[in-house]
Chains A and B, each alone.
Chain A
Amino acid sequence: AQSVTQLGSHVSVSEGALVLLRCNYSSSVPPYLFWYVQYPNQGLQLLLKYTSAATLVKGINGFEAEFKKSETSFHLTKPSAHMSDAAEYFCAVSANAGGTSYGKLTFGQGTILTVHP
């Protein structure tokens, strides 16, 4: 079984400041990990994914995340926030069970990012 915990339901930063959204996971098998972004009244869009190829993963819009097995974490960062980054962000885990996940994701509770001018 897998689970995801996102620390902080709301994060507020100033434009140009570092963005750090925290995600910790639990998985009984090697995980696949994802970050999705949801803009108001829209579906989810993939930001980046970890699939064991590299621990530092770069995604779209300048975001990146680092997989730390010892800390069971997959925190999302962006060096400089932009107003357009305001959205809700979801961390998700999928089981790497024999090489397939059947398209099943377990999501965290979500973190709403607010960017102030």
Chain B
Amino acid sequence: NAGVTQTPKFQVLKTGQSMTLQCAQDMNHEYMSWYRQDPGMGLRLIHYSVGAGITDQGEVPNGYNVSRSTTEDFPLRLLSAAPSQTSVYFCASSYAGTGREPDEQYFGPGTRLTVT
């Protein structure tokens, strides 16, 4: 299994440009999430999905869109990039669990985005 894969690894955008960060998992996980990591702030949840066709907002959703048409893929779209979106982005996935306790979240290697 490749686990959770993310592309690209690095990206530089100009203010106002749009792009899509790709995330895929081959573990048949129901749950998928996007986080951004900024120094001194830990990771913050952007959007998450509990299954194909179902998404919801996390803590910091503004400026980002997601969709989940398949179990495997969960792309994150930046509609009009801003310097405040300079960050490292992590995708994660997990099983729904037994209903009584959560399963481990598996993280991808991250995408380092710079917006100038």
| A interface residues with partner B (beta carbon < 8 Å) | 4, 6, 9, 32, 36, 41-46, 49, 51-53, 90, 92, 94, 96, 99-110
Among candidates B42, B50, B110, residue contacting A43 with C-beta atoms closer than 8 Å = B110
Tell me the bound Cα distance from A91 to B41 in angstroms: 12
The answer, yes or no, to whether B44 is at the interface (CB within 8 Å) is yes
What B residues does A44 contact at CB under 8 A?
Answer: 43, 90, 92, 105, 107
- Closest CB in chain A relative to B72 CB, distance in Å: 15
A103 touches B32 (CB 8 A): yes
Number of residue pairs spanning A and B whose beta carbons lie under 8 angstroms apart: 80
| A103 CB contact (under 8 Å) in B100, B101, B105, B109 | B105
Query: Which among B32, B41, B102, B104 has the greatest number of chain A C-beta atoms within 10 A?
Result: B102
Q: Is B31 in contact with A102, judged by CB distance below 8 angstroms? A: yes
Question: In which size bucket is the chain B interface?
Answer: 20 to 34
Q: A104 and B42 in contact (CB under 8 A), knowing A43-B90, A43-B107, A99-B99?
A: no
Interface residues of B in 29-68 (CB under 8 A from A): 30-33, 35, 40-45, 48, 50, 58-59
For the complex, give the distance between the alpha carbons of A103 and B33 in Å.
7
**How far, in angstroms, from A109 to B44 measured CA to CA in the complex?**
10
A82 and B110 CA atoms in complex are apart in Å by 26
Measuring CB to CB, which residues of chain B are less than 8 angstroms from any residue of chain A? 4, 30-33, 35, 40-45, 48, 50, 58-59, 90, 92-94, 96-97, 99-102, 104-105, 107-110
What separation, in Å, do the CA atoms of A48 and B104 have in the docked complex? 9
Structural contact, A101 and B107, CB atoms closer than 8 A? no
Q: Across the interface, do B94 and A103 meet the contact criterion of CB distance under 8 Å?
A: yes
Docked Cα-Cα span, A104 to B42, in Å, equals 14
Q: Which residues of B contact A103 (CB under 8 A)?
A: 30-33, 48, 50, 92-94, 96, 102, 105
Q: How far is the CA of A62 from the CA of B108 in the complex (A)?
A: 24
- Most-contacted residue by chain B among A36, A41, A101 (CB, 10 A): A101
